[in-house]
Structure 1
Amino acid sequence: MLNIVLRLKKVGADLKNLTQEFQAIESFLSKMKSSIDDQRKQCLEEIRQVRSQVNTHLDTLETIIKEEITTNYENLKSKLEATTKHTCHNTIALQDMAKELDDLQRDGTEKQFFFAVRSSKEILKKISKSLDELRETDALSTKDISVNVDPTLNAFDNKIVSFGKAVIKSTPSVMNYPKSVSPTFAQRSQRSAVTISLEFGERFKLPSNIDVTGCAQLTNEKCVLVDRHQNRLVLHQRGNFKDIVTFSNSPYDVCSLEDNTVALTIPNEKAVVYVDIVLGQIIQTVYFPYKCYNVDCDGKLLAIGFPGNEKLIVADLEGKQINCFTIRGKEFILRNDEIYSVSERDDEILCYDVFGKRKWTYPDIVQRPVGVAVDQRKYVYVFSKLNEAIYIISPYGSSSRVVIDKEDAALSDFSCLCMYPDSDQLLVCGSSNHALVYNVERKRTW
């Protein structure tokens, strides 16, 4: 009996020791689990810090690359613009000189022509020297800008001292600009001059109570007129008028997109609507954040004006914005990637590219200009409300003259000019009860 009691005590002691042993193991495992959790958190934090450093370095690298590319671009653009301006100036000077000599040869005396030829030689020498210098300048080279980042990341170390490398390379231009023999003076004097005039084509009476704020010429001698007074778009063809669409709010301007599709602005709806003039239906509406007024299209791009914000948006033909910039004047026309605008307030006619860069300005001569059209050769037609006359401005804004004034036609209440691309007809209309069509006549003199 005594032995059994002793054995029971020994078993109880063993169980107690085993329990303590398991408790010690459990405590150790708990500490191990906690340590593993801490290590996991530490690893994740280190990964996060490395990722943050990588992102920061990539952002810095991106900024540096963009700045280098922008600097090279601006330098190249500045050189090209200066070269272009210089070239255009010399071209215009040569054209003017040739015209002056042609006029003297035809109408002046032999003595006048002799002195004109002698004085022209010095000018031609300067222009020839300028051309030789131009051929040697690096303005006639292109920049091949490329960015190379090392794919092996060998430059990446624990401290992230550097991350890849960016290289801006230049290669010779592919432009071939041969040094041809300068033509003789006799060859230069054979340059022709073009005299442009507007010949009256027709006058047609407009429907009563119409207030035309926009017009666009189409093919097949058709045109569309925006009647703000009766909120409608009107089709005109060979003296006949037909309502196309009536709107709930007043439309303002219209332009041609395709043969049977036009785009109109509706300022109060902050929208541009596309209309099928055959079906007489709105087929698409594009909304903008501000009131839009003037609109024009050159077959490739769409330009929408927001005069209240002095902004102009360049978009694709679906109305998706490509660029936005500030522009002077609320009336404009888009032709061949150039935007011609008129500022009635400042008496200015301006030319921009589709990126908002002003190319030239013709100030002060045409007073209170309110309508603008451009022909195939970049001659600009502008209506002066103060002088009641139509002016023509030569390409690059170098000169102007009156082609139609109030003695030729009653132009007092006209404000809209439009010319279908590749057309030689100018449509003039406004709040008057009639519209005029002029044919552009070009005469070449030698």
Structure 2
Amino acid sequence: MATLVDQMDQRVSKIEMQSEFTEMTQYATELQMYFGLREIEKTTFQVTKYIEDLESGDNFNEQNLEVKISSALRSKLKDVKSFGYIKINTTSSTLQIKTGRKDQAQHLVSKGPGIDHIIPSLSKSLIIPENMRSLDIYATLILPNGKFVILDSNKTLLMFSNEGIFIRQIVTFTEDSYRACFVRQNTVALTLGLANQIALVDIEKNAIIERIEFPHKCDGAASNGTTLVINEDGGKITTVNLNDKSHTILEVIGTDCISLFKGKIYCAVYLENKVYCYKITGEPLWTFQHQDIASPVGIALDMHGFVYIVSIRNISIVVVSPDGKTCKTILSEDDGITVPWAIDINRETRMMVVSNEISDASGATYQTAFVYKI
């Protein structure tokens, strides 16, 4: 049994191909993908035959040794001619093996949705009270509990219910604040621009709980709960470890809006009309430019790694594929988009919020936010 287990362990070390498969699906060309899948198919066939051979033999049969002690031991020892006998009971294997060769081979490759399948559907819009219709929205967030937070140009943070109804004012700043991001639990981070600070706000207690100093202007912010990423428009990017508050400044080309997803930093540059993807350590991965992306001012990512860009000059929302090779306009003026600026995505609920401008019954315009299912 020990020999068999050792042999199977050696086999396992030779067939663990998940990381190679993941890299292949992300970076390989179609031709490379074809030959790569041929090699994977060959390996899985060999492994399947090995497993079937093991199961068809007696490798997994359970051997139980049973000792029967002679009752003659209870009599005089001189009459004992045998201590008993050993009997081997063999039980058939109960191991259930599912190789997936007969009817599931076609499911070898599992792909996520393609870019053409991304079609947002309007769910609702935030209901802005009449006395608040002078709002100028800089940032809008969807919280994990489904509520919404808006950062107004009047340096005020506002909360709305899941249904989009105004609840309360959270906090007001004396410094100019430009962007916001959800961090963790009840904490939201706000950039304080020329003050070179980030403010961490407890949105349940309506209080600023901490301020973090930076050596540069703070314009954009993104977080994954353990790391906070701050950028200066057209300049530096700084990552912050939220546990020990240590800083790392990254050398990048530049950025105006920023997002963070699965260890990668995504940026859009307003003047260059480009989208950049970097490793969390600052190494560039890809750059994308397309005529549909004109003056990008907002960026967010969904659960599959698609990059959503607010193209202010084209008055549209554009999606870029995770590999940075293709794009598609998913919302435009035809969909009621007029003055988009801020964008956010809740990856768990697959909801997207985009700030927009609408008109009331009298024809006067004011800002709100549209909520979409993606």
Is contact 1:313–1:322 with CA below 8 Å preserved after alignment?
Answer: yes
Give the match for residue 426 of structure 1: 352
Is contact 1:352–1:360 with CA below 8 Å preserved after alignment?
Answer: yes
Is contact 2:191–2:199 with CA below 8 Å preserved after alignment?
Answer: yes
* Percent sequence identity over aligned pairs: 23
Paired amino acid for 2:212: V
Is contact 2:138–2:342 with CA below 8 Å preserved after alignment?
Answer: yes
Equivalent of residue 391 in structure 1, options 306, 318, 323: 318
CA distance in 2, matches of 1:301, 1:252: 20
1:370 partnered with 2:297: yes
TM-score by length of 2: 0.67
Is contact 2:353–2:372 with CA below 8 Å preserved after alignment?
Answer: yes
CA distance in 1, matches of 2:26, 2:147: 37
TM-score by length of 1: 0.57
Report the alpha carbon displacement of residue 283 of structure 1 after superposing the two structures with TM: 1.0
Give the match for residue 117 of structure 1: none
- Could you report, residue by residue, the CA deviation over 1:154-194 in whole angstroms, capped at 9, with x for unpaired residues? xxxxxxxxxxxxxxxxxxxxxxx99334999x938986654
CA distance in 2, matches of 1:383, 1:322: 29
Give the match for residue 283 of structure 1: 209
Write out aligned runs for 1:14-93 (5 A).
88-90=26-28, 93=30
Report the alpha carbon displacement of residue 276 of structure 1 after superposing the two structures with TM: 1.1
- Could you report, residue by residue, the CA deviation over 1:219-271 in whole angstroms, capped at 9, with x for unpaired residues? 3321211112x221111113124111111112111111223111111113211
Is contact 1:213–1:430 with CA below 8 Å preserved after alignment?
Answer: no
Q: Normalized per residue, which structure has more helix?
A: 1
Q: Normalized per residue, which structure has more strand?
A: 2
RMSD after superposition: 3.2
Q: 1:241 to 1:319 in 2, by over 3 A?
A: farther
Write out aligned runs for 1:12-411 (5 A).
88-90=26-28, 93=30, 127-128=34-35, 179-181=43-45, 187=106, 194=114, 195-206=117-128, 207-228=132-153, 230-237=154-161, 238=163, 239-307=165-233, 310-318=235-243, 320-327=245-252, 328-365=254-291, 366-409=293-336, 411=337
Q: Which has the larger radius of gyration?
A: 1
Give the match for residue 102 of structure 1: none
Gaps of 5+ in 1: 1-81, 94-122, 136-176, 441-446
CA distance in 2, matches of 1:84, 1:189: 13
Report the alpha carbon displacement of residue 127 of structure 1 after superposing the two structures with TM: 3.7
Paired amino acid for 1:180: T
Gaps of 5+ in 2: 1-19, 47-100, 358-365
CA distance in 2, matches of 1:220, 1:84: 32
Report the alpha carbon displacement of residue 297 of structure 1 after superposing the two structures with TM: 0.7
Q: Give SS of 1:179's match.
A: helix
Q: How many residues align?
A: 283
CA distance in 2, matches of 1:302, 1:129: 37
CA distance in 2, matches of 1:329, 1:319: 26
CA distance in 2, matches of 1:187, 1:84: 18
CA distance in 2, matches of 1:287, 1:197: 41
Q: Give SS of 1:275's match.
A: strand
Report the alpha carbon displacement of residue 85 of structure 1 after superposing the two structures with TM: 6.9
Is contact 2:316–2:340 with CA below 8 Å preserved after alignment?
Answer: no
CA distance in 2, matches of 1:421, 1:188: 25
Report the alpha carbon displacement of residue 214 of structure 1 after superposing the two structures with TM: 1.7
CA distance in 1, matches of 2:170, 2:107: 54
